[in-house]
Amino acid sequence: MPTPPVHLGTLLTGWQTDPLSLVVLAVDVFVAGAYIQGVRRLAAKGRRWSPWRTISFLGGTLVVVVAVDSGLSGYSNSVFYVHAIQHVLLMNAAPVLFALGAPMTLWLQASGRNLQSFLLRVLHSKIFEALTFPVLVAGISYVLMLTYFLSSFYTFSEEHPLVVGITNVVFLLAGCLYWWPVVGLDPSRWKLSFPARLGYLATGIPVTTFLGLGLVSARYSIDPAIHTLADTHAGGGALWVLSELFTLTAMGAVLLQLLHTEERAAARYDRRLAHEEANLEREAQLERERLAEETAPRGA
């Protein structure tokens, strides 16, 4: 079966109206509304919330809508490289924007005492700490990707729309947990140093390379009933390149943060040194004045 052509008009206007897509849209609207309400409640307390965080979080909800409810989703079942783009949006783009939006911090600051206590109990619970352990999160994310794309599970999911929807949710949650230790601004039990973040991200490069090469060099279509071999190769290339771009961009951002941190530390050291030198100079000046008074001839 030849790969159907992708039309821009369909991408822009082909919104999905099946029950599962409508549920996702309703959840996205609810989450975005809750975030905006949190910003308003914080403003009512006289506290300012960064508009960039708000834009970032709402951008994440928009990315999810585009990935699941737009014409892009309509093509994802028939065009594999579009499916690869959808996957990257759900597992990389949206989670990064959500993490930069710091929703947990917002709700901790804007909510009442009861909700604050509940959120803090969740954050400090052993289960949550285990689920957000970076090594475990990275391992689960890599296993999910490899299992989904390099096994018969992909073909099975394409035959069951509900499984596709559940898989999309799982990938989104896995992506959120994966990117949280790297770019997240919310409180977390696992605070990675800058070198640890670079190492954490670097572990994903061989995994996505292996996955990309496996699809690009495949001798058979990932799903012969739907995708051509050429489409499989194109999707593997898109998945590989886009995943690596996200990883390398994140590593560059971490390096910039490290440089800025070192610059701020150096500036603080210089200010402290200048302050100490000024104190020493004042003490020396006082000592000189004291000696001058002691050695000055006394009047009659």
**129-168 residue pLDDT tens:** 888 899 999 999 999 999 999 988 998 988 888 898 899 9
Distance of alpha carbon 10 from alpha carbon 45, whole angstroms:
45
Q: What is the pLDDT of residue 300?
A: 47
**Angstrom distance (rounded) from CA 188 to CA 265:** 23
Residue 21 CB contacts under 8 Å (≥ 6 apart), including other chains: 68, 69, 73
Where residue 76 falls among pLDDT bands split at 50, 70, 90?
confident
In a domain, 154, yes or no: yes
User: Is 3 domain-assigned?
Assistant: no
pTM tops 0.85, yes or no: no
Q: Considering the chain, what percentage of its residues have pLDDT values greater than 90?
A: 44
Round the average pLDDT of the chain to a whole number and report it. 85
pLDDT (0 to 100) of residue 46? 87
Question: Would residue 1 count as lying in a domain?
Answer: no
The three-class DSSP label of residue 222 is coil
For residue 53, which of 17, 18, 97, 91 has the smallest C-alpha distance?
A: 97
- The per-residue pLDDT for range 248-289, each reduced to its tens digit, is 888 888 888 777 665 555 555 446 655 666 666 676 666 666
Please write the tens of the pLDDT for every residue from 200-219: 999 999 999 999 999 999 99
Look up the domain containing 227 and give its range: 8-295
Report, as an integer, the average pLDDT of 5-32: 85
Flag whether 211 is in a domain: yes
What span, in angstroms and rounded, lies between the C-alpha atoms of 96 and 175?
8
Report yes or no: 89 and 42 within 8 Å, Cβ to Cβ: no
Mean pLDDT score, 68-87 = 89
Does a structural domain hold residue 2? no
Q: What is the pLDDT of residue 233?
A: 94
Compute CA distances 231 → 35, 57, 67, 172, 222, whole Å. Answer: 39, 33, 19, 24, 9
Mean pLDDT is highest, among 2-6, 173-177, 224-228, for 173-177
Domain count, the chain: 1
